[in-house]
Structure 1
């Protein structure tokens, strides 16, 4: 019998969700997408998530994971990017459970991608420390040790040469500053060497849209540990959210105070 979960990925432009086969890490049926409301308040976005869950026909017992572009501390969002600032300080677990009528686990979007890569992607079965980064507008990160997620790492915001690392090395900066591949690679080398020095990982995985062109830059990075492209790419957030929610439910981890 197929074990099923629901993953929903909330972004600045769209809210996407799908039923997920928890044993294969694959979508069951088609992905559902709605535009993020122009007034992207927590309640407005939660209502979109309810619509997606209802459209997918999720049974009450199906684990539901929802990603947000923010850290999540015991369900609470301390600050937010790309959505309305009224998200700051709310308990997202409680809000989503109230609006959707389902038990919900909320987590950071990069953390969800990291979970997906560990269970089904480029980091599958890798022991020790794995760091997954997403290169896009900024640099998202996920840190796992023997498959256990250490959440909310925000490694794109380490200080590097007196500045925020992602303001120098994110994929968006290559386009914004009209950098050649060689110029951008030198910045990536500085960034990933610094991360390697801090954590001595066993593997680094690189995702984000630019990972489709991984052959242009990853082979040119000189590191002690292997660095490889992500395998799941645009399905990772949804798959990882569903898997993480399932793991939390199996371990009886409360998703909100008093739940």
Structure 2
């Protein structure tokens, strides 16, 4: 019995609070194989409406039935099920995301937390490629996402943006949105980030910290202001990380 050839392309979908994005991904390079398409997230963002939008996205690309499909989701995913939700409709709580999406598009779908997907992309193709030991990937945006790896293996759903630091939920003070909403200078924000990263270093002793999220494209304004024991580097894949990580996991048997 001969084994089927490993897929060379997979389709990644990134579900967010405002938009749902997707594109095919070249699995040999981690690059998008076509320009990504973005469709606004339905309002209200109930499960059935979002699933229909995901199906519309897949249909728009004419994705072959043999192509693996993976998607990111803005909440923890525990054995496929959403335990709690912040950035989409509350009716997602308790939903089996892979089952719902597989039914909607007529093929098996892999679902993963959005920060975990971004981390997987950085480990497979980006700033953490080939890194041994403990790697922490963080995404700075509306909140703080996290993905933790040990010798390349993902420890899922870490949610380290919700660590309580000095009596506050960490992301309330140190997310990129806090800098924008409070009009903080880069120096002022860096002081909050310093407190955050020194806390996660104390707890996890990472060998490498990767900083992603949209603000990472301005990394020269704040990363040099931070002092950590582990190397602190900007993410490489930026806005495509979720799509790439979801596609990679779909092709490599993530459960």
Common topology (TM > 0.5): yes
Deviations 1:147-205 (A, max 9, x none): 11111000000010111111111111112112222111111111000001111111000
Residue 192 (str. 1) matches residue 197 (str. 2): yes
What does residue range 73-222 of structure 1 map to in structure 2 within 5 Å? Answer: 73-222=78-227
1:139 Cα deviation after fit: 0.3
Question: SS at 1:30's partner residue?
Answer: coil
**1:62 Cα deviation from its structure 2 partner:** 1.4
Q: Counterpart in 1 of 2:240?
A: 235
Q: Say which SS state the counterpart of residue 190 (structure 1) adopts.
A: helix
- Structure 1 residue runs of 5 or longer lacking an equivalent are 254-259
Looking at structure 2, the residues matched to 172 and 130 of structure 1 have their Cα atoms a distance apart, in angstroms, of 24
- Verify the 8 A CA contact 2:123 2:129 in the aligned structure 1: yes
Partner of 2:29: 24
> Hey, what's the Cα distance between the residues in 2 that align with 1:91 and 1:52?
20
Structure 2: give runs of 5+ residues left out of the alignment. Answer: none
| Separation of aligned partners in 2, 1:172 and 1:50 | 31
CA contact under 8 A between 2:115 and 2:145: conserved in structure 1? yes
What is the rounded CA distance, in whole Å, between the counterparts of 1:115 and 1:121 in structure 2? 9
Q: Distance in 1 between matches of 2:202 and 2:252?
A: 31
Task: Look up the match of 1:247.
Answer: 252
Deviations 1:75-106 (A, max 9, x none): 00011122111111111111111111111011
8 Å CA contact 2:187, 2:225 repeated in 1: no
User: How far is 1:235 from its partner?
Assistant: 0.4
Residue aligning to 1:257: none
In structure 2, what is the Cα distance between the partners aligned to 1:135 and 1:148?
22
Following the alignment from structure 1 to structure 2, what is the Cα–Cα distance between the partners of residues 201 and 19? 32
User: Aligned equivalents of 1:10 and 1:175: distance in 2?
Assistant: 23
Question: Structure 1 residue 61: deviation in Å?
Answer: 2.0
User: Secondary structure in 2 aligned to 1:90?
Assistant: coil
Aligned CA-pair RMSD = 1.2
CA distance in 1, matches of 2:153, 2:240: 20
TM-score by length of 1: 0.94
Q: TM-score, normalised by structure 2?
A: 0.95
Aligned length: 250
Distance (Å, rounded) in 2 between the aligned partners of 1:178 and 1:156: 21
Structure 2 CA distance for aligned equivalents of residues 182 and 34 of structure 1: 36
Q: Does 1:60 align with 2:40?
A: no
Query: In 1, are the aligned partners of 2:51 and 2:101 still within 8 Å (CA)?
Result: yes
